[in-house]
Structure 1
Amino acid sequence: MARFALAGLALLALAGAARAEEDNSALLVDLFTKICAPKPARPSQVERIAAGLGFVSDGGPITAEMERRANIDILYMAKLIRRGERLGSMSAYFAGPDDGPSVSCTVSAVGVSADALPGLIETSLKARERIDKPSNDDNHRLASWRVGAGNGDTLEMSVWRTPPQRASININYIATKR
C-alpha cells in the first residue's frame, strides 16, 4: 500500500514539474498574432477576439455608446485561465479621436522561454531589425522590432528568465477604420 502511495506522489510531482516546465512561448505569440497584430480599430473588436480565445474580463462589456464618442478613452483588460491557473492576460488601451485613436495592445503569459521567444516573434510576426535593449537585471530580457510595411510600428518584448517566467509582447499604433 505504501508503494502505491509513493508511486502516486511521484506521479503528481512529475506532472507538476512538467507543467512548471511547459513552454508557453508559442502560445503567447499565437495569442498576440490573433489579438493585437491585426491592429484592431475598435475596442469592441479586441473584446470579441479575446473572448473568442477564452479571455475573461472583470469589467463590463464595451458598448456602442462608448465607441461613438468624438474622443475615445477605453481600457479593456482580460485574463486567460486554463485548468484553474492564470496563464496570461491582455490589455488594449484606445485613446484619442474616433477616426484614429492611438492604441497600445499587450498580451502577457507565464511559462515563457527567454531564449525561444525572440525567434518565434521574428518568424511568426515577420518582425525585423531587432534591437536588444539593456536591462538592470541579467534575468530580464528586453527587445524591440520594426513590423509592418514601412509604417514604423514597433513591437516590444519583455521576458523574465526566472520563475514564473513572465513575458509580454506589446505594439503601439494608430487605429484606422477599415
Structure 2
Amino acid sequence: MIVSRFALAGLALLALAGAAGAEEDNSALLVDLFAKICAPKPARPSQVERVATGLGFVSDGGPITAEMERRASIDILYTAKLIRRGERIGSMTAYFAGPDDGPSVSCTVSAVGVSAEALPGLIETSLRARERTDKPSNDDNHRLASWRVGADTLDMSVWRTPPLRASISINYVAHKR
C-alpha cells in the first residue's frame, strides 16, 4: 500500500515536471488574434483599439480620441500588449496614415511561443490565405512567408529559436464603410 502511494506520487511529480517543461504553443492564439484585430481591415484607429481592448490588450499610450480621427489627414500609431499570467505573450501595432477617407494601414499582431511548423498551416486554413510564397532569410532559424488574401498580402515572420517569436501583418488602404 505504501509502495503504491510512493509510486503514484512519483508519477505525479514526473507528470508535473513534464508539463512545466513543455512549451505552450500560441500559434492558434496568434492567428485568432490577427483574425479578430487586423483581418477585418478596420478603417479607424478607434475600431482597432476597441477590439484589442476587448481581447485583453493594454495600451501604454492614451486612448484614441474622436479629435484624433477627425483631422483631414491622420497619423496615428496604436500599440498594445497582451499579458497573461504575468508574462507578455503578445503585442499588436496598427499605424494609420493619410487622408481621413482612405488612410494606409499597417496592422501587425505578434506573439511568443509560436511553432514555426504549425503557423503556416493555421494561416492557410483559418485566414483562407492562398498562394504562399516562402521568402529567403539570412538565418535558418528565421522563416518568412507571404500569402494572398483577396487583394491583400499577409506577411509572416517566425523564429525557430526561443522564445519562438512570430508576427502576422497586413497592409491595406482603409475605406469608411
TM beyond 0.5: yes
Q: Deviations for 1:94-145, whole angstroms, at most 9, x for unmatched residues?
A: 0000000000000000000001100100001111110000000000000001
1:3-152 matches, cutoff 5 A: 13-18=17-22, 21-148=23-150, 151=151
Structure 1 runs of 4+ aligned residues shifted over 3 Å read: 6-15
CA shift at 1:17, angstroms? 1.1
Q: Deviations for 1:139-162, whole angstroms, at most 9, x for unmatched residues?
A: 0000001112xx2x1100000000
How many residues in Structure 1 have an aligned counterpart in Structure 2?
A: 169
Structure 2: gaps (5+ residues): 1-5
Structure 1: gaps (5+ residues): none
Aligned-residue identity in percent: 85
Once residues 28 and 72 of structure 2 are traced to their aligned partners in structure 1, the CA distance between those partners, rounded to angstroms, is: 38
Aligned partner of residue 163 in structure 2, secondary structure: coil
Aligned partner of residue 123 in structure 1, secondary structure: helix
CA shift at 1:22, angstroms? 1.1
**Are residue 157 (structure 1) and residue 161 (structure 2) matched?**
no
Once residues 10 and 25 of structure 1 are traced to their aligned partners in structure 2, the CA distance between those partners, rounded to angstroms, is: 26
RMSD (Å) for aligned C-alpha atoms? 1.6
Aligned partner of residue 78 in structure 1, secondary structure: strand
Q: Deviations for 1:67-98, whole angstroms, at most 9, x for unmatched residues?
A: 00000100000000000010000000000000
Q: Deviations for 1:20-40, whole angstroms, at most 9, x for unmatched residues?
A: x11110000000000000000
**Cross-structure match for 1:174:** 173
Query: Which of the pair has more CA radius of gyration?
Result: 2
